[in-house]
Structure 1
Amino acid sequence: MATKAATTKPSASKSTEKKPAPKAKAEKPAPAKAPAPAAPAVVLAEGDPAPAFSLPGAGGATLSLSGLAGKKLVLYFYPKDDTSGCTKEAIEFNALRDKFAKAKTAIVGMSPDSVKSHDKFREKYELAFPLASDETKETLAAFGVWVEKSMYGRKYMGVERATFLIGADGKIAKVWRKVKVPGHAEEVLKAAEAL
């Protein structure tokens, strides 16, 4: 008895056939994104040597760690000249400058603002201590205060408000991070007096 070869009829839907992949739509190139910020390689702690810096200051002066050697130094980092929190912080440090001087402690503020901006800020509030301009943000990064921040879900790079008390030996004696302004300068003064 002869057997019939099994035959299959192609189905009307042809669902088993492979369809050619749809052509990809030409996409607009994505806008160039800034590289993801790297976490600070080293988080500075008490006892670490302070990173050296040499930066322009208000009035055309050069401010450097070596130029302040042999003195205690309050180096405070702030986001922007003439903004609410930064102005309050500067005024608080300025009000205590004589007490810091008695404690043989210099004060230097630092932000990424230009020297011109610093000059205006110092003049407007009669600040009697120098402000260093780190427009390249190299020193901010060396101290680990140039960080990723977030506001309303948007991420951006900015300055973390922080203060470093550096001893006359050039080593970090105390660190304050994510500073809340009210009473901060007084707390730093007490630490400088005790050092």
Structure 2
Amino acid sequence: MSLSVGSPAPDFDLPASTGKSLSLKDFHGKKLVIYFYPKDDTSGCTLEAQDFQKLLNDFHSAGITVIGVSPDSMKKHDKFCDKNNLTFPLLSDEEKVMLNAYGVWVEKSMYGRKYMGVERTTVLIDPNGKIAQIWPKVKVTGHAEEVLAAAKAL
């Protein structure tokens, strides 16, 4: 992964499920959790989104914003949000600009077949726009709780 703790977070400006675009500067002075996931409506991605949603009030009361990012279209994000009652923004990176900038668009392998995809990764950004923590190759179970604890401790 090209990112390292303490380095400035790469900027982004992408359409969000809130109906407007979001960029890194929108979160200046705030703690930000960005979780990158492969695809809307798959079992692991749905579980991860639901876990972050369940803890969203805890994140918000600690002054932490959560956003999810995948290469899915806004249309897919809107359906995914509606179906799972997600109230935090999902960003659409169909061009994979942000995914590449954060080093999460990688070659993967399944059943011997190689393909490009998102490596499930979460990044915690401090109020100054610096990377405070990185969770590569995330295992979904218990992950949202772990991120919340780390973000609160920041």
Q: Give the TM-score range, shorter chain.
A: over 0.9
- Total equivalences in the alignment: 154
Tell me how far apart the structure 2 counterparts of residues 150 and 119 of structure 1 sit (CA, whole Å).
29
Cα deviations across residues 65-106 of structure 1 (Å, max 9, x unaligned)? 111111100000000001000000000000000110111110
Partner of 1:75: 34
Partner of 1:30: none
Does residue 185 of the first structure (1) align with residue 131 of the second (2)?
A: no
- Report the TM-score when normalising by structure 2: 0.98
Aligned residue identity for 2:108: K
Q: 1:136 aligns with which of 86, 89, 95?
A: 95
Cα deviations across residues 46-75 of structure 1 (Å, max 9, x unaligned)? 101000000001142111111111110000
Cα deviations across residues 159-189 of structure 1 (Å, max 9, x unaligned)? 0000000000000000000000000000000
Tell me how far apart the structure 1 counterparts of residues 18 and 132 of structure 2 sit (CA, whole Å).
29
DSSP 3-state at the match of 2:26: helix
Partner of 1:102: 61
Alignment of 1:55-70 (within 5 A): 55-70=14-29
Query: Which has more strand, going by share of residues?
Result: 2
Structure 1 consecutive aligned stretches of length 4 or more whose deviation exceeds 2 Å: none
Q: Which runs of 5+ in 2 are unaligned?
A: none
- Report the TM-score when normalising by structure 1: 0.78
Aligned residue identity for 1:106: T
**RCO comparison, higher one (Cα < 8 Å, 6+):** 2
Partner of 1:91: 50
Aligned residue identity for 1:149: K
Aligned residue identity for 2:140: V
CA RMSD of aligned residues (A): 0.8
Tell me how far apart the structure 2 counterparts of residues 165 and 86 of structure 1 sit (CA, whole Å).
18
Query: Which has more helix, going by share of residues?
Result: 2
Partner of 1:173: 132
Tell me how far apart the structure 2 counterparts of residues 187 and 153 of structure 1 sit (CA, whole Å).
32
Does residue 160 of the first structure (1) align with residue 113 of the second (2)?
A: no
Tell me how far apart the structure 2 counterparts of residues 126 and 81 of structure 1 sit (CA, whole Å).
13
Greater radius of gyration (CA): 1
